[in-house]
Chain A
Amino acid sequence: MIRTLPGSRGYMLGYRVYIALFYLFLFAPLAITCILAFNDSNFPSLPWKGFTLEWFTADTLERVGIFHDQNNLKSIWVSFQTAFFVSLLSLLVGTMGAFLFEQEQFRFKQGLYFLALTPLVIPGVILGISLLLAANSAGLFVEERLGIDLALLRPSFWLVVLGQFSFITTFVLLVVSARLRKFDPTLEEAALNLGASRLDVIRLIVIPFLKPALIGAGAVAFLMSFENFNTTLFLVGSDTTLPINLYLQVRDGSTPVINAISFLLIVGTSLLAVTNLLLSGQTTKA
């Protein structure tokens, strides 16, 4: 049943078949989505009607490939911008949080730490609606008292950024904290002993030490933001992000363009994931 205790042949065979079926189950939907992105048919379904790149490149009245699909291209761009700002902000605040909870002592630290973890266990939908409500209340307040209509407080690009930031920061905090906990404080003492200032210590010792965690957390924050649906759903304004835009299209019927977008997403995220894995593998070895 384990490596050193092999089971009977029938048992091992059954086990292997189960594992094979599991991985088939895991990859079937992705594989079929990718394959049908190249099918020369107007519907994302079989039969196979021949290979085509038209769902990427075409720009005719009948077929508009993703590279010419202004609507989807725009939402991809919106998602990129959102993900950029979210990962930047959450990396900044999450890292500060990691320093706060790992290296500082203050009253109510335990309570605040608990609070900082909660965003990960609050359903995304709830985060979305409560932020929507709060922004709306704040907007009404500002409008009544100051007579200013703040666009920021209505469903909009920045509200989406804030909503995603609110829980992705917790994720960054956890990743960076885990790395910071492994930091050997004698390295800091050694640097001080060799004449470094506190700023030198942070710049030359602590940040380089955290770098793999910062890169990893940044990449995952980017992906989490890029793919977020639940929270975004309630906060999105006229700038729809890609997941929301795709959802609207999938709900109302589908074309192979969605397969083409999915294909690009699958390839893109896999590349990002693999480079991230390789990078983190390298640094843990060194």
Chain B
Amino acid sequence: MRRETKIGLYIFLAPVLMWLLLLIVVPHIDLFIMSLRGEDDLGEAIWTLDNYHSFFSERIYWLTFARTATYALLVTLLTFLITFPVAFYITKVVHRRYSAFLTILLLMPFWVSELVRVYGWMILLRESGVINHLLLGMGLLEQPVELLYNDVSMVMGLVYTSMLFMAVPLISSLEGMDDNLIEAAHDLGASKLTIFLRIVIPYAAPGITSGAIVVFMLTLGNYLTPNLMGGKNSLWFTEQIYNQFIASFNWNQGAAFGFLLLLLSSLIIWAGLRLSRQDLGRALT
């Protein structure tokens, strides 16, 4: 019996190791190596820190980086503010009969490809779009206005795309909360605000952290939404990476950018986990 389990271990271990080593570990080591490679004046391949140096010396690069990080944080915060009342409504306010229905309704749009959702916003918002058409029709506008291709539309699109990943952990953590806690606080004379700040939010904290981590990570790494909904001047860092790889064909520079983005996202996730004292496994499940 003991020998059987030993064989079982290797049967399970081999494919998992192959997956993680060949597709995760080695490629990321390669990414790091590539980011340290470059060419000297003669076109010979050499080790160099040039790729990182140019990131800091070229204003546009690190500005884009900082902008992306700031906007990602903003999007995370907005997503939380917009989603939290909905999660609370679904789990605590609406009649139980409708809870499941509203939850499913909330999940539905996110089964559909992100591209389709962004496309929907595009035909709503653009100059010849549906909203402009309606506003003109109602006489609220004289001239069509371009609602797309600016930072506001981009942030809105990113929030829209991220809502699910905030809503699901919020709903599941609020579902586990006993209504009696709120009733007790109310009974003891707490105001609505106090109840939210002292009872509900602390209870939902684990859900908030996991939601925030996933939303931040996905927003930081998003390409489609900033690319299609953002303006010409609202460059996202992933677009810089894409440009280096596909347009400039400067893979070493792109690798350095990729590594920096990976570093940033890992750092923020690590900080989030530390602050909320959770581990990665708990936050993801």
- The answer to whether any beta carbons of A and B sit under 8 Å apart in the complex is yes
Complex Cα distance, B119 from A247, in Å, reads 9
In the complex, per-residue mask of B256-285: 1 if CB is within 8 Å of any chain A CB, else 0:
001001100110010000000000110011
User: Is A251 a contact partner of B179 (Cβ separation < 8 A)?
Assistant: no
B108 interface residue (CB < 8 Å to A): yes
Q: Contacts of B23 on A, CB cut-off 8 Å?
A: 131, 162-163, 165-166
Complex Cα distance, B257 from A123, in Å, reads 13
Complex Cα distance, B227 from A113, in Å, reads 34
Q: Contacts of B217 on A, CB cut-off 8 Å?
A: 121, 123
User: Is A230 a contact partner of B222 (Cβ separation < 8 A)?
Assistant: yes
Q: Contacts of B220 on A, CB cut-off 8 Å?
A: 123
User: Is A106 a contact partner of B179 (Cβ separation < 8 A)?
Assistant: no
Given A1-B192, A130-B31, A254-B123; A243-B115 close (CB under 8 Å): yes
Segment at the interface with A among B7-15, B47-55, B59-67, B201-209: B7-15
User: Is B89 a contact partner of A15 (Cβ separation < 8 A)?
Assistant: yes
A18 interface residue (CB < 8 Å to B): yes
Given A262-B116, A277-B104; A250-B228 close (CB under 8 Å): yes
A174 interface residue (CB < 8 Å to B): yes
Secondary structure class of chain A's binding surface, majority of residues: helix
Which residue of A has the minimal Cβ distance to B221?
A123
Given A121-B265, A129-B254, A229-B224; A45-B128 close (CB under 8 Å): yes
Contact of B92 among A2, A25, A266 (CB under 8 A): A2
Which residue of B has the minimal Cβ distance to A90?
B19
Which residue of A has the minimal Cβ distance to B26?
A134
Contact of B124 among A28, A122, A178 (CB under 8 A): A28
Q: Contacts of A114 on B, CB cut-off 8 Å?
A: 280-281
B146 interface residue (CB < 8 Å to A): no
Given A23-B105, A29-B124, A133-B30; A116-B20 close (CB under 8 Å): yes
Contact of A26 among B9, B95, B96, B106 (CB under 8 A): B106
Question: Which residues 105-144 of B sit at the A interface, judged by CB distance below 8 A?
Answer: 105-109, 111-124, 128-130, 133-134
User: Is A43 a contact partner of B192 (Cβ separation < 8 A)?
Assistant: no
Which residue of B has the minimal Cβ distance to A31?
B120
What interface size band does chain A fall in?
Answer: 35 or more
Q: Contacts of A122 on B, CB cut-off 8 Å?
A: 24, 28, 262, 265
* Distance to closest chain A CB from B36 (angstroms): 12
Given A100-B9, A126-B261, A130-B28; A45-B133 close (CB under 8 Å): yes
What interface size band does chain B fall in?
Answer: 35 or more
Secondary structure class of chain B's binding surface, majority of residues: helix
B149 interface residue (CB < 8 Å to A): no
* Distance to closest chain A CB from B94 (angstroms): 8
* Distance to closest chain B CB from A136 (angstroms): 8
Q: Contacts of B255 on A, CB cut-off 8 Å?
A: 129, 133
Q: Contacts of A36 on B, CB cut-off 8 Å?
A: 123, 130
Given A29-B120, A32-B124, A233-B223; A106-B109 close (CB under 8 Å): no
Given A28-B120, A30-B109, A124-B221; A134-B9 close (CB under 8 Å): no
8 residue pairs from A and B, CB less than 8 Å apart: A2-B92, A2-B179, A3-B92, A99-B12, A134-B30, A227-B112, A227-B113, A266-B116
Q: Which 9 A-B pairs have the closest CB atoms?
A: A123-B221, A29-B120, A134-B27, A130-B27, A100-B12, A227-B113, A166-B23, A130-B31, A46-B133
10 new A-B contacts at CB < 8 Å, known A121-B269, A123-B265, A269-B112: A19-B85, A30-B117, A100-B12, A112-B20, A119-B24, A122-B265, A123-B238, A198-B4, A234-B245, A242-B113
Interface residues of A (CB under 8 A from B): 1-5, 7, 15, 18-19, 22-23, 25-30, 32-33, 36, 43-47, 92-93, 96-97, 99-100, 104, 106, 112-127, 129-134, 136-137, 162-163, 165-166, 169, 174, 178, 198, 223, 226-227, 229-230, 233-234, 242-243, 246-247, 250-251, 254, 258-259, 262, 265-266, 269-270, 272-273, 277
Interface residues of B (CB under 8 A from A): 4-5, 8-9, 11-13, 15-17, 19-20, 23-28, 30-31, 34, 82, 85-86, 89, 92-93, 95-96, 104-109, 111-124, 128-130, 133-134, 160, 163, 179, 182-183, 186, 192, 195, 213-214, 217-218, 220-224, 227-228, 238, 241-242, 245-246, 251, 254-255, 258, 261-262, 265-266, 269, 280-281, 284-285
